Amino acid sequence: MSEDAGGLIDAFLDALWLEQGASDNTLDAYRRDLMAWSGRLEARGEHLLSPAGATLPAWFDERREAGYQLRSNARLLASLRRFYRWALGEGMIDHDPLAEVRLPRVRPALPNTLEEAEVERLLEAPDLSTDLGVRDRAMLEVLYGAGLRVSELVGLTTDSLNLRQGVIRVRGKGDKDRLVPLGEEAVVWLERYLRSARGGLMSDITRPALFPGRGDRAMTRQTFWHRIKRHALTAGIDRPLSPHTLRHAFATHLLNHGANLRVVQLLLGHSDLSTTQIYTHVAQARLEALHADHHPRG
């Protein structure tokens, strides 16, 4: 990639961080997309700010033949469009070179989630005779009870808790804080963990990490994801899981029990209601399955 293109990408990412507080993960994703696109253009003798109209559709065709899903191309197109809107606003170009590029509509994928009975088995899987087991049970209860992202969970500190009021302060995407109710079970397990297990896992209990990994530091997302998979095996859950499985279950089960969609949006920390609406499809799919199984004309 040329120095000129690299400088443009850096300037765009700096603007994204300054103006919108984009997270490191978001910035990394944009960088990967733009570097790949820039490399593609340079191989064809084209410049990042002036791609030929047919270059991107041709690349999409090649990606599809290579096995990339439509959703992957749609995400790539969204990244590139955001870059060119920024370049247009900065006066670097006089038109959006991708304005006419279209992809078929992508139906939102239904999140992989768990039935309520499966969640119960997963929550009960840790070995409570050990400090690690009590810690994991508390983490699972908070993850499901508050609908957190795994990155939010492992980033919690002791001063983010208010167990008297039963709420937790969570720092989400874009470094935005939100208060989330914990629920009675999560509070009970947090109290037990803080009282009987956390001290046994730390050499210095004054360190801020609520859920320590090695060296009294906060646990990594990867470590906790491995713990979830281990407990899922213990619970006899053999369906594919993701780090967001309990977050998806939290949202879906709330809606199944009559929660308002906007309330779920606030609890999840979604800035856009359309992001939350995917869970209405999950609830609808569940209703359709029940109808098919139990209605005489299903």
Catalytic residue among 173, 178, 207, 286: 173
Annotation marks residue 149 as catalytic: yes
The yes-or-no answer on residue 279 being catalytic is yes
Q: Which of 135, 137, 244, 248 is catalytic?
A: 244
270 in active site: yes
Q: Which residue in 137, 149, 227, 253 is the catalytic one?
A: 149
**CA angle (37, 41, 45) in 5-degree steps:** 170
Task: Give percent helix, percent strand, percent coil of the chain, each to the nearest 5.
Answer: 60, 5, 35
Given the residues 227, 231, 253, 270, the one annotated as active site = 270
Residue 198: active-site member: no
| CA pair distance 80, 180, nearest whole angstrom | 34
Q: What tokens does 33 get?
A: 């997309």
84 is catalytic: no
How many beta carbons lie within 10 A of that of residue 177, not counting itself? 10
Q: Dihedrals φ, ψ of 95, to 5°? A: -160, 160
The answer to whether 276 and 265 have CB atoms below 8 angstroms apart is yes
Told to judge if 173 belongs to the known catalytic residues of this protein, a careful annotator would answer yes
Decide: residue 289, CB within 10 A, 0-12 exposed, 13-18 middle, 19+ buried: exposed
| Residues classed as catalytic | 149, 173, 244, 247, 270, 279
